[in-house]
Amino acid sequence: MFSLKRKGDYQLQLDRILRTPGRYNVELYLFTPLEVDLSARTLTEEQFYFGSISHRFGLLGIQSKDRASKSDTSYSLLSPHFEIAHGGWLFQYKASMDRLRQQLLSGEVAAAEPIARALRLSQTYAQRMRKDIPQQNKVRRYFRQMDIYFSWFAEQFFLECQTLEGYDALDEELKQAVAEFLQQEARIRKERDYLHDFQGTPTAIWNRMSLYNRLLEYPVSLRAKVTELGSGTRKLVKAASTMVIMSLFTYLLFTAREFSQTLSITVLLSIALIYAIRDLLRDDMIDMLTRWLRKGKPRWRIRLLMPYTGQQLAQQQVWLDYRKLPELPRAVAEHSGKWANSEERQVILYRSLLNLDKAALEDDEIRERITLDCEQLCELIKESRDRLYLLADNEDGTQEVQVHRIERQQDYNLLVVFREPGQDHSNAQRWRLRLGANGVVQCESKQLRWPSPEEQQQQRWWQRLRIGTR
């Protein structure tokens, strides 16, 4: 199952952990509202793929042949083994803390159990990370950035917990333990000369920690080598169209020569008209024919490589299309919710087929993250000039007219259908997204009645029977 969380004003992150090798199929359907003018002209599929969606993978551990033994700690302190091992631990810690944060925010009330678990997890991770300090300069820089980022990340989590309703009513012992942990982190920052990294404006501190996070994730992020498919088909279509135009041009010349030995104005105008039509329709015709020939085929092929060694761990195929409701699979159209009731709605379909090698998961787990950036969709929302006027009573008994600006918002619906290795059935999750001109306003999980494995199996047998009787 995927977990969805907001990141910043515009981004949404879908995360899950891959634990078994095989084929992973993910289909992401984004249903747009009717008032949005979304088409290949306003936002091309290539612009949406490279600017609005990101599909990345990262290691949550280290291969057994590269893992240092407990008795030989010097081996684990060498680069790049240190970066891969500690980067994987940091990934696991952040994933666990994010799950606890979701539990707290879903209830909107501070709960003792998630906070206590987060405190134990942070204390255990801090003790494990700070057990041995490396001596190499490169590794020491990585350790310093990781120590600073962890101290800031943990502090932000517990400070956010203190702002939740009901935190003051928690057990005094738990609140005292949280306060002692924060005081301990403050002492470590002072002792290790980390205070300079925590100085500046809130925006500067946030950007600095975001930079540290990207630097820490780099050693454990799988390298993606993207290859765009269909270039050969486009070249063949372009050559075929040129051959047809030149054949028509040659035929016209020979036909005109039979009637007259000289070129007339009519023949010259006809030739010019053919070239004008060719230049006017060539690109659109080539795009249309290429799209028709490659319909249903992947648009990109991605090779996922191991950091530092370059060993291929997986291969991914990616599809991206704009579709109407009648063009969707029957199960998606029938069980995606009552909001998908208009055939004119544009649906963005992103599909990924991942073939994960067995060698990639011998001792590791892979973190899969799909990031949806809604900034380009928010730019399509036109600013509203509407105003709401209310007559309000003042404390002195007088009345005044209050003017409220109306912010235009639009509801999107996100449906994720996925299938894991060894499963003959698919699972699905659905969220409702409310977007405004300034970013994501609301993200809410919705119940979805997806066909059970038995119903899907019965439906497949019924489809086979219908095909066999034709």
Does residue 387 surpass a pLDDT of 80?
yes
Using pLDDT thresholds of 50, 70 and 90, give the confidence band for residue 460. Answer: low
Using pLDDT thresholds of 50, 70 and 90, give the confidence band for residue 464. Answer: very low
pLDDT on residue 81:
75
Three-state helix/strand/coil letters over the chain? CCEEEEECCCEEEEEEEECCCEEEEEEEEEECCCCCCCCCCCCCHHHHHHHHEEEEEEECCCCCCCCCCCCCHHHHCCCCHHHHHHHHHHHHHHHHHHHHHHHHHHHCECCHHHHHHHHHHHHHHHHHHCCCCCCCHHHHHHHHHHHHHHHHHHHHHHHHHHCCECHHHCCHHHHHHHHHHHHHHHHHHHHCCCHHHHCCCHHHHHHHHHHHHHHHHHHHECEEEEEECCHHHHHHHHHHHHHHHHHHHHHHHHHHHHHCCCCCHHHHHHHHHHHHHHHHHHHHHHHHHHHHHCCCCCCEEEEEECCCCCCEEEEEEEEEEEEEHHHCCHHHHHHCCCCCCCCCCEEEEEEEEEEECHHHHCCCCEEEEEEEECHHHHCCCCCCCCEEEEEEECCCCCEEEEEEECCCEEEEEEEEEEECCCCCCCEEEEEEEEEECCEEEEEEEECCCCCCHHHHHHHHHHHHHHHHCC
The residue ranking higher by pLDDT, 308 or 445, is 445
Specify the range with the lowest mean pLDDT, choosing from 105-114, 202-211, 405-414. 105-114
Does residue 66 surpass a pLDDT of 60?
no
Does residue 284 surpass a pLDDT of 80?
no
Does residue 439 surpass a pLDDT of 70?
yes
Does residue 223 surpass a pLDDT of 80?
yes
Using pLDDT thresholds of 50, 70 and 90, give the confidence band for residue 169. Answer: confident
| Domain parsing of the chain, residue ranges | 1-58+311-470, 81-199, 230-293
pLDDT on residue 67:
45
Using pLDDT thresholds of 50, 70 and 90, give the confidence band for residue 462. Answer: low
Does residue 176 surpass a pLDDT of 90?
yes
pLDDT on residue 182:
94
Does residue 317 surpass a pLDDT of 90?
yes
Mean pLDDT of 109-127: 88
